[in-house]
Amino acid sequence: MLTTGLLLAAGAGSRLRGVAPYKPLCPVAGRPLIDHALEGMAAAGLTRAIVSLGYGADAIAAHLVARSWPLAVAVVMTDWHQPNGVSALAARDWIGPDGAVMAMCDHLVQPRHYRRLAKAGPGKGLTLGIDRRLGHPWVDPLDVTCVATKDDRIVAIGKGLAPHDCYDTGVFAIGPRFLDVLAGLDSPSLTDGVRALAGKGRARVVDCSDLAWIDVDDAPAFAHAEDWQGKLAA
């Protein structure tokens, strides 16, 4: 089982700017998104997390330093103007041969989601947590990354992909091969890396359709997240 987490928190979060100046610090049910993620990783059994920062790095790093966490937290810096694959590569030297559970800071998920990917491991490349509930009301069809699979393998991935049979939930188990692939690409996105491994049969999926999750990327998604977390706290 993987014990390291990689949390990508470098983006500008422009569509959520009306709610919070820096997306990782956006409070959902009274807790910043980054707190939900780090505490969820710890609850899943991870013992350390590397946080990749870019936009608003000083404010987010100050937040991280200001409190204690239930797991060891390290910070790496990246260029937020670059695609998200560059944010993952910034942590390359921190990730050992076993790999890590990689997640997007703005994807609010249950601890079981992280744990499922930690148990699955990266295999020969990577494992992606997917959701087969097409048309879910929390998912923005114009923004979500769509995935086409055959058995437990990814055959295609991308926004606006047709046909597709599931969604990318933003939680992965990655190994050194994935980071090696990203390093060999110019300005790589995560999707570029997944496609490259999928072409070699090294990108598989784990079904997370039974788990609630949401990409808190804009005001409507924020409202859904507040309602979901508020009900949990009630």
pLDDT tens digit sequence for 157-178: 999 999 999 999 999 999 999 9
> Are the CB atoms for 227 and 216 separated by under 8 Å?
no
Q: What is the pTM of this model?
A: 0.97
* 114-159 per-position pLDDT tens digit: 999 999 999 999 999 999 999 999 999 999 999 999 999 999 999 9
For residue range 177-230, list pLDDT tens digits in order.
999 999 999 999 999 999 999 999 999 999 999 999 999 999 899 999 999 998
The tally of domains found in the chain comes to: 1
Query: Which CATH number is 127's domain given?
Result: 3.90.550.10
DSSP E strands in 78-181: the ranges are 100-104, 107-109, 126-131, 145-150, 153-159, 166-174
Using 50, 70 and 90 to split pLDDT, how confident is the model at 234? Answer: low
Q: How far is CA 139 from CA 30, 65, 142, 204, 225, in A?
A: 23, 33, 9, 22, 12
Residue 189 has what DSSP assignment? -
pLDDT tier, 232 (very low <50, low <70, confident <90, very high otherwise)? confident
Rounded mean pLDDT, 69-89: 97
Parent domain of 67: 4-233
